[in-house]
Amino acid sequence: MTEKTAMTDRNSAEQAYSDFTRSLSYGDYLHLNELRAAHQPITPAHDEHLFIAVHHVSEVWLGLIVRETQAAMRLLEQGITDAPLKMLTRVVRAQEQMTNAWEVLKTMTPSDYLEFRSAFGQASGFQSQNYRMVEFLLGNRNPVMLRPHAHRPDLHDPLKAVMEAPSVYDLALRLLAARGLNIPDTVLNRDYAQKYERDEAVVEAWLTVYRDTDTYWDLYELAEKLMDVEDNFRRWRFNHMTTVERTIGFKRGSGGTSGAGYLRQALNIVLFPELWEVRTRL
List residues near ligand HEM by CB under 6 A.
54-55, 58, 105, 113, 124-126, 128, 131, 240, 243-244, 247-248, 253-257, 259, 262-263, 266
* C-beta closer to ligand HEM: residue 64 or 203: 64
Nearest approach in angstroms of CB 243 to ligand HEM is 5
Q: What is the spatial distance between Cα 213 and Cα 218, in angstroms, rounded to a whole number?
A: 8
Burial (CB < 10 A; 0-12, 13-18, 19+), residue 222, is: buried
Instruction: Check whether 151 is labelled as a binding-site residue.
Output: no
Q: How far is the CB of 193 from ligand HEM (least distance, A)?
A: 18
Beta carbons of 172 and 76 less than 8 angstroms apart: yes
Return the number of the residue (84 or 253) whose C-beta is nearest ligand HEM. Answer: 253
CB of 188 to ligand HEM, least distance (A): 28
117 is in an annotated binding site: yes
3-state per-residue secondary structure call for 226-244? HHHHHHHHHHHHHHHHHHH
The nearer residue to ligand HEM, 208 or 257, going by C-beta atoms, is 257
Alpha helices in 110-259 (DSSP H): 110-114, 129-138, 153-163, 168-178, 185-188, 200-211, 217-248
CB of 174 to ligand HEM, least distance (A): 27
Closest CB to ligand HEM among 145 and 202?
A: 145
CB of residue 272 vs ligand HEM: minimum separation in angstroms?
17
| 32 backbone dihedrals φ, ψ, rounded to 5° | -65, -25
Q: How far is residue 229 from each of residues 96, 166, 199, 280, measured CA to CA in Å?
A: 10, 17, 21, 20
Question: Least distance to ligand HEM from the beta carbon of 231, Å?
Answer: 17
Q: Which is nearer to ligand HEM, 131 or 210 (CB)?
A: 131
Cα 269 to Cα 18, 175, 191, 238: the distances in Å are 53, 24, 19, 12
- End-to-end, the C-alpha distance of the chain in Å comes to 72
Between residues 147 and 281, which has the closer beta carbon with respect to ligand HEM?
A: 147
Cα–Cα distance measured from residue 258 to residue 246, given in angstroms and rounded to the nearest whole number: 15
Sign of the dihedral defined by the CA atoms of residues 83, 86, 91, 92, in that order: positive
User: Angle, to 10 degrees, between the axis of helix 129-138 and the axis of helix 168-178?
Assistant: 20
Q: How far is the CB of 96 from ligand HEM (least distance, A)?
A: 15
Residue 220 assigned as binding residue = no
Residue 132 vs 225, nearer CB to ligand HEM: 132
Which residue ranges are tagged as binding site for substrate? Answer: 113, 117
Which residue ranges are tagged as binding site for heme? Answer: 240
Which residue ranges are tagged as binding site? Answer: 113, 117, 240
